[in-house]
Amino acid sequence: MIESLAPVLQGPLSFARDALCLPDSMPEGEVLPCAALAEPGVLGGLLDRFAARHGGADRRAVVSMWTQYYAVRLVYPVLAANLLLGRDLPLAPEETLLLVGPDGDPRGFCLAHEGGTVAAGGLERFAPLLRGHFAPLVAAVVAEGRIAPRLAWSNIGVRFASVAEMAEQQGLLSEAARADIDAVLERSCWPDGSPNPICGVYGAACGDTDRRRRVCCLRYLLPDFTGCGCTCPLPAGRGEALTRH
């Protein structure tokens, strides 16, 4: 882990403590530059390995789940550092290493250094993560995995909303940070007019505290996964999924 991030990776965010590291503490195992995921065949090879883990399930669901692993490992600690410590971490794909699990799954990331002070506000505060890092990844996932861009972006946007909710519930968000995270979740366009793909990832409320995703993550199509309850927009994804062989 990166020790300087420990103060904000506590409580409900403690699961993300080991998702990031620096070169001098990188664990042994398979690594590759995140930029390499855009090269022909590289991401496809990881997805093939990940698909084998899920017993030949629907490829769309496998790819969606892979992107969720990636988003969980990156978004939670990076946004916690950004919103709660006011720190921008270095996320350019060419200087970030992906730590790869034995099944091709994303296990974490090695960053070049510990970053610096957040310099921008509003949507631009999150441009290094969304436009610099995730945009090329989503393009590669769409090309190799044959899923819709809105599915990949929904998986990312849901994690943005989740970090904001965790921080808000603990009373840790400043007014400025709250305004900036609201902007990226609610404004449909970037300042230059291009679409903001994580705007409006949730629809109506469901149950007492939950909200329904606008795009189903398809995990109910994977063997032995249960449905997501009321948060799924598809009736088939709300109950327990049948085991598929």
77, 19 contact by CB (below 8 A): yes
The residue among 44, 46, 66 whose CA lies nearest residue 222 is 66
**Domain assignment of residue 220, yes or no:** no
**Domain assignment of residue 225, yes or no:** no
227, 243 contact by CB (below 8 A): no
| SS3 of residue 65 by DSSP | helix
Q: What is the pTM of this model?
A: 0.94
| SS3 of residue 123 by DSSP | helix
**Domain assignment of residue 229, yes or no:** no
Residue 188 domain boundaries: 3-200
Residue labelled with tokens 């997805």: 47
**Domain assignment of residue 175, yes or no:** yes
Q: Does residue 226 surpass a pLDDT of 90?
A: no
**Domain assignment of residue 74, yes or no:** yes
69-122 pLDDT tens trace: 999 999 999 999 999 999 999 999 999 999 999 999 999 999 999 999 999 999
CATH number, residue 93: 1.10.510.40
Quote the pLDDT of residue 229.
84
The helix (run of H) or strand (run of E) holding residue 181 is helix 175-186
11-28 pLDDT tens trace: 999 999 999 999 999 999
The total number of structural domains that make up the chain: 1
